[in-house]
Amino acid sequence: MNTTKMATSSETTLKKTHVGNKKKPIKRYWHGTETNETGKKQTPKPTKPRGGKRGLTSLPLKRHWHGTEKNKSNGKKQRNHSERTPKQTQPSGEKRALTSLPSKRSWQGTKKNETDGEKQRNDNEQTSTQTEPSGGEKRLISSKEDPFPGTAPIPKNSLKKFKRGEKQEIPRDAWHKVKCAIADSEAVDDMAQKQNARFDLLLPEDAGFLEGDEDEDTCTISQEDIANAVDITSGAKYFNLALSQFGPYRLDYSKNGRHLLLGGRRGHVTCLEWQSKQLMCEMNVMETVNDVKWLHTEAMFAVAQKKWLYIYDNKGIELHCIRKFNDVLRMQFLPYHFLLATASATGFLQYLDVSVGKEVAATCTKAGRLDVMAQNPYNAIIHLGHSNGTVTLWSPNVKEPLVKMLCHQGGVRSVAVDKTGTYMVTSGMDKKLKVYDIRSYKPLQSYFLPAGASCLSLSQKGLLCAATGDTVQVYRDVWGTPVTKPYMAHRLKGSVWGLHFCPFEDILGVGHGEGFTSMVVPGAGEPNFDGYDANPYRSSKQMQEWEVKALLEKVQPELITLDPSMLSKVDKSTWEQRHQDRVKALGYDPLAKGKFIPRFKKKGRSSSGNVERRKRQVAHEDQRDEIRKTVEENMERAKERKQYKKEQMAAAAGQKSALDRFRK
């Protein structure tokens, strides 16, 4: 039986029959043929490839510069390597040559043979062909440096706008895991601050204000002129609802500014989508309505009626009647805590958790009738105005007022707090309007209004609206420089009973004795909204998902404090006081180190000598701490003595004596 083997460029093909049953080794592609002195061909000894099986060999990887060889015929032998002539190269598309050409670069040319049938030279004699630049031109790679290296700088004002407080000082004796956790949290805060500052450039909308011509006051421009000058959509936002039969009216806008809730003094309650004028529900509760307030979504709202507090849905169906909350006059809803705060005519301040329907806290203010109420959006503190001219700040965790301020000589008529929690505006019976800095509890500005302000409201951009009788005046930048004239003014048909700026819109809603009026106030609303918090264009599905997420992230009422940054700090003094109270109650210190009692060890290790040795060792460890403390105290005393001596020597050197006149 004849065998024929395919050979590579470094071996020849042998045609030889087997002799007997002798098994010949498998020939590898790297094996050549050797001849003895007698001229006979000798087969080299087989070598086993590393890591492979006996009969499995792998051909070498073929490179793009290697050619392919073909035998002239299946029965003929190939010539020796020294006498071999190169064959033609196989095209890249054939199956025989399984090679992949290298990826062509822009600066590399293409190799061209002179003729299609010309053979390539040998590997050792082969010379590189001349490359031609593509396009006929040489490509130059610039070696210039980047004129603006690194990331783009961030304006300092933007960074200051999104700053989340001062960095904490890490104690030296803190645990290493605590240090790592603090460092990681600070790194995350820094990254969030920089990202917010960068993304602030992507908010193209800006608040625009009303500007008049030369020698023209903007307060003289009427609402009709503004509605005729703006576009049709904005002009349609100025309208009047004639509801003289059941007025005056209280009002409230939903958190995203899409829905309006009206409550008439004589029992008329209605809610509508005010931009499209689509009525959601309308009813008459047949008793006095003191206040109305939207809850966490536009699906439910609360109505403070003459006797008790009622909860309705947006279809007008009564959901709850809460009889614990009686004689309610004013209400405020805390959206992140799901708390409805109510102030009653009996002087009680009560908190209702609307997520579970339970009363969280009830505090007797001991200040009489409570008909002036506002909330601080920054820290969820409730501000109450009293008839003796004071304003008190309340939290559901404390039964006493956190802060008590004397603001007016007469009774307080209205209170408003800006969204940053920095400024508070109050108006009183003394016909004064005052601006306070809540951080220092000091007055910044004081204005005198001839008729006094009965209602106050602050917009998202800091505009102040004050209602005096049937006139509504809007002021701009009241806590900066003193204001001499209003920014806008508008006169209504009846006396004003409720004011509220619409979120994310340049709209002011006014409830008065003759119904409701929607005014256009340029520059009042925030032009850029947060889609994750209050999205005016969210669908019903998004609203459901937001409600579930808000319930999961609900802030507990125990976390309401004047300074929210104190929640991340440890109150050491309080802990020490609790420890002292515990020691007094128990009669001993439970954290004190007790007397050392050696454990009993077996196999003769609890002999009297070993026990005494262990006691002595523990006693020495306790003595080391005492010795260390005494050494430190002695070193401090020595430093004080040296300092005292230096001061005495300096004082003695500075004194003059009678013999100083003889010194040269």
Check residue 11 and give its pLDDT. 44
Nearest Cα neighbor of 439 from 481, 376, 374 is 376
pLDDT band at 466, cuts 50/70/90? very high
**Residue 73 confidence (pLDDT) above 90:** no
User: Do 534 and 416 fall into the same domain?
Assistant: yes
What ranges make up the beta strands (E) of 314-452?
Answer: 318-326, 328-334, 339-344, 348-353, 358-364, 372-375, 382-385, 390-394, 403-406, 412-417, 423-428, 432-437, 442-448
Residue 254 forms part of a structural domain? yes
User: Do 601 and 540 fall into the same domain?
Assistant: no
User: Do 523 and 606 fall into the same domain?
Assistant: no
pLDDT band at 627, cuts 50/70/90? confident
**Residue 391 confidence (pLDDT) above 80:** yes
Per-residue CA distances from 531 to 52, 163, 541, 645 (Å)? 63, 21, 14, 70
pLDDT: which is higher, 626 or 242: 242
Other residues' Cβ atoms within 10 Å of the Cβ of residue 391: 24
Q: DSSP letters along 22-38, please?
A: PPPPPPPTT---EE-TT
CATH number of domain containing 463: 2.130.10.10
Check residue 600 and give its pLDDT. 64
**Residue 346 confidence (pLDDT) above 60:** yes
**Residue 429 confidence (pLDDT) above 50:** yes
Residue 579 forms part of a structural domain? no
Check residue 504 and give its pLDDT. 92
Q: Can you tell me the distance from the alpha carbon of 352 to that of 341, in angstroms, rounded to the nearest whole number? A: 6
Rounded to the nearest 5°, which phi and psi values hold at 271? -135, 145
Domain-ending residue, one of 485, 515, 544: 544
Range 286-315 average pLDDT: 95
**Residue 361 confidence (pLDDT) above 50:** yes
Range 37-56 average pLDDT: 46
pLDDT band at 12, cuts 50/70/90? very low
Range 301-317 average pLDDT: 95
Q: What is the pLDDT of residues 147-162, one digit of tens each?
A: 877 888 888 888 888 8
Nearest Cα neighbor of 279 from 262, 254, 255 is 262
DSSP state of 96: S
Domain-ending residue, one of 506, 527, 544: 544
- Of 32-46, 348-362, 605-619, the one with minimum mean pLDDT is 32-46
Evaluate whether 376 touches 397 at the Cβ level (below 8 Å): no
pLDDT: which is higher, 300 or 610: 300
Q: Which domain range does residue 645 map to? A: 595-652
Residue 20 forms part of a structural domain? no
Q: What is the pLDDT of residues 90-138, one digit of tens each?
A: 444 444 444 445 555 555 544 444 444 444 444 444 444 444 444 444 4
Structural domain count of the chain? 2
Check residue 14 and give its pLDDT. 44
Check residue 297 and give its pLDDT. 93
**Residue 74 confidence (pLDDT) above 70:** no
Check residue 565 and give its pLDDT. 82
Check residue 508 and give its pLDDT. 96
User: Do 487 and 350 fall into the same domain?
Assistant: yes
Q: Work out the percent of the chain whose per-residue pLDDT is above 90.
A: 48
Whether pTM > 0.75 for this model: the answer is no
User: Do 233 and 355 fall into the same domain?
Assistant: yes
Residue 247 forms part of a structural domain? yes
**Residue 209 confidence (pLDDT) above 80:** yes
Provide the mean pLDDT of the chain. Answer: 80
CA-based radius of gyration for the chain: 45
User: Do 310 and 423 fall into the same domain?
Assistant: yes
Domain-ending residue, one of 527, 544, 561: 544
